[in-house]
Every structure is written in structure tokens, then in C-alpha cells.
Amino acid sequence: MTAPPTNPAPVEPPPKRLKLHGRAFYESIGSPKRIVAPMVDASELAWRILSRKYNADAAYSPMLHARLFAETEHYRRQSLRYAPTSDAEPALSYDGDHKSDRPFLIQFCANDPQHLLAAAKVAQHHCDAIDLNLGCPQGIARKGHYGAFLQEQPDLIYKLINTLHEGLDVPVTAKIRILETKEKTLEYAKMVLDAGASILTVHGRRRDQKSHNTGLADWSYIRYLRENLPSETVIFANGNILYNADVEACLEATGADGVMCAETNLYNPAVFMPPTASFEERFPRVDVMVRQYLQIVQDLTFGEGNPVVELTKEQTREHASLTCIKSHLFRLLHAVFTRKENHYIRNNLAKATGQKFCEILKLADELEKVVEEQLKLTPETQEQWDGIMKEIGGPGADAKILRIPWWRCQPYVRPTPQQAYENGAMQKSKKQLNAAAPKESKRELDSESATSDSKGEMPAKRQKLEEPQPESTRENGQLASLDSNVCG
């Protein structure tokens, strides 16, 4: 069998559809409440399909770069899989497939209205709406001058949104972060809505809340917006989702129409399952989840029922599901890799490539054997599950980190700065050590000063993954979910 074909050129756009706005648009796409966030190199088609199987109502594309998308055909092919244009092409699912990938919103980062409009005009035929990224807090956004680093330019933000609102056949939406005060955040939100945004997604963290300084998202800001914006305003809340119960808690606390989830969705795609679902449904076995995910990738890449073949590097790059596969597996298996006896699986995964998909499938076989052997040694019981779930509470001081067995999908919880120093995830710089040495009272840096010197941080890929500790809580930013680090 020959390798699957690359994406064809975009087809002629379909006839114009009726353009709705605000709540009318939201209701037209089914009033989704559980939304997969736009995540850089993470919310691609295969992952969206998997998440929808586990109760996600809507999903966003990965963040796309507007100028590159508008000007570079190769980047467009890597970013979007187009629908087949003839019966001769394989009947594979595609981005925005009405059977498997709707509602679907495509997100762009941009700082130039015309670049943004040019990109959006191509993308609008594949989705329900175009979203503008105004929330990315990472260094690359600072360097490229987009995302949360446009906050100081409200006139530019207005023009970006309004240009899409006036020039597209589909609605425009926007994702923002909160500002220093509720009043400033409200003023910001009103400007975004006045510019033409149909849905406002609010990440309840400020721009500086990231990495080990992530802390808790402040839901009270979102509630304040809900109470002070017109009732017809559609709001999605983002931040603090670790477990299924947090979704309903967030809806109640904020009054939002929907809840968006980023990083926890990557570690446990079943996070959107209802709290009334069984433990098995809310925290699936990792080997089962990995097998389901790989089957979706295989079907998207080679066609359902077709054999797996080795691809060239160029072919692999044009299949987003293959280029993202290793990062997804490392996240799904993070608890598995806390066990030394499973490190060989991690090492084999590090060596594997999307080109040789068969190698990835062999890892899945080995994972199934490991989990089955563990369950023979320690069979699970309903009483055990009930005991685990007694620990759960709402966000804040009463929200314990559940002791989920390592063979089940679960959120990754990052340590506070002080914990990071203690477990080796971060190291003090020479500057910090020298400054602390003269005074007895400052031999140990407090958590605030520890986060202020980026030189002391190890790269994210080297950060140590720790098993959740039963007595830890999420109070005052401890062990907070890291929606901010992957979300667009």
C-alpha cells in the first residue's frame, strides 16, 4: 500500500450561510457547556475526536499563526486537513467534519488586522467561528507581540476583532485573561464585546500567572463579569479544572454558559464526564485510553481497516495527529512514569517516531501487559473507589488531591516554588545562593522570591513528575492546574 496522500488544495468555498451573533449563534451550535481549549500543538483533530467521545460538547483548534497561515501553503496544509474533493480520495475525517468535529472553532494569534482577516477568510469555511487569542502569556507571545501581550493596546484589539466581525461570514470570538482589578477587566471585556465578539472566554488568571507561579484562577472575576455584562452575553470560564466535579462547580460559581479546559483534558480526556458517571468512566485506565487514542490516529492517517505503513518525514509533518502523538502519550502516562519499573516504557517512547507508527503500537501492547499484571497483584474494588472519592471537595482549601492509582488517567499537579526546590524540579541560581548566604534568616528563599529569577528554573521537559500527595490542597495557588501553559 502506498502512503496516504497529502492534503489537496482548498476547494471552492460553499455558499454564504446566515451569520448569527452572540447568544443566537451559541444556541445554533447546541449551547455547548464542556469545551476543549485551544492548545498549541495539542488540540488537533485526533485529540478533539477522542475528547468528544468523553463528553466534550465543542472544541477549538490549536493556536494558529495568522500571518503564516495566510501566506504559506505548507503551513496551511500542516494546520488543516481538508475534506475529500473526489471519490478517488480516502474517506478520512477532516478538520471541521460535520460528523465528528463540530462545533469547531479555529483560533489565530495575530497583531495585524489584514493578516488576520486573510487567514480567517480561508479558515472560516472549515469551522463555526474564528477565535482571537488574547490570552497566551508565554515568552514566544511576548517576542511575537500577540496573545496577552496586546492588553496594553486596546485600540489594536478592537480593530482586530472588528475587522473579522465586519469581514467574515462566520462569527468571531475571543479569549482573554483577567487584568489587575475587576473594574479594569470589565472595561476590557466590554471593549472586546463592542468590537463584535460573539463569545467571550475568560481565563481567571493574570498574564504573569504561569509556570510555577501559576496559582489559582480567580472565579470571582468571571462572576463579576457575569453580573455586570448584559444577560445575553455568552461567557466561557477557564481555569481550576482538575476533576469532573470542578466543571459543575465552576458553572455554579461563575454563572458562565460553558467551561473550557486545557491541561487537565490532556492528562485525562474524561474530565468532562458528568460527576454522576462511574469511577471507571471518570478515570479510565491509561492503557484503554491510549489504545482508543492510537486507534483514532491510525484511522485518520491510514484509513479505517488499512494496514500501517512507514511514512517519510515530510508525510509525517503533514499529519498533525502524528506530530503531536508523543507529547500526548507522555502526558497520558505521566503517573505511569513515576514508577521506576516503568521507566523503560518512557525511554522507548522517547526513541519512537510518528513515522514508524508500528513502534508506537508496540508500546501500547507493552503498556497493556504492565497494567494487567498490576491489577492481578492489586485488584480494584468498589470500596477502594468510594474511599478515593470521599476526598474530593470544591476548589480552595477543601479540595484535596485525589489518590488516583497510577494506572488510571488523572490530572498532573505542579508543585509550588518551594516544593519545586525541595524535590529538585528547580535549582537556585548562584545569584540567589550568594544573596542568601550572608544572612542567617534568609538561607531559604521564600516562594515569592523563588519565582522571580527565571535563571534558577530548569527547562519544563526536565521537571520531575511527582505523584500527588494526599494531604496537599490547592489553597493559595498550591498545586494548581496549569491551563495557562498549554492554552492559547
The one-character DSSP state at 478 is T
Residue 318, C-beta contacts closer than 8 angstroms, at least 6 positions apart? 6, 7, 77, 78
Instruction: Report the distance separating Cα 343 and Cα 304, nearest Å.
Output: 32
197 vs 131: CA distance, rounded Å: 9
- In sequence order, what are the residues at sequence separation of 6 or more whose Cβ sits closer than 8 angstroms to the Cβ of residue 162? 195, 196
- Assess contact for 135 and 148: CB atoms under 8 A: yes
* DSSP-derived 3-state class of residue 235: strand
Residue type (1 letter), 8 = P
The answer to whether residues 482 and 413 touch, using CB atoms and an 8 Å cutoff, is no
Q: What is the DSSP string of 21-33?
A: -HHHHHHHTT---
Secondary structure class of 400 (helix, strand, coil) = strand
* Cα separations in angstroms, 203 against 110, 259, 263: 19, 10, 13
3-state secondary structure of 314: helix
Helix ranges restricted to H, 126-259: 139-144, 154-167, 182-195, 219-228, 244-254
Strands (E), 3-86: 34-36, 58-60, 64-65
For 462, the 3-state DSSP assignment is helix
Closest by alpha carbon to 179, among 230, 218, 236? Answer: 218
Give the helix/strand (H/E) hosting 130.
strand 129-134
Closest to 90 measured CA to CA, from 81, 99, 79: 81
CA dist 381 and 386 (Å) reads 9
Q: Residue type at 294? A: L
d(CA 28, CA 417): 45
Catalytic residue among 109, 127, 136, 261: 136
Known catalytic membership, residue 136: yes
The conformation of residue 335, written as its DSSP 8-state character, comes to: T
Active-site positions? 136
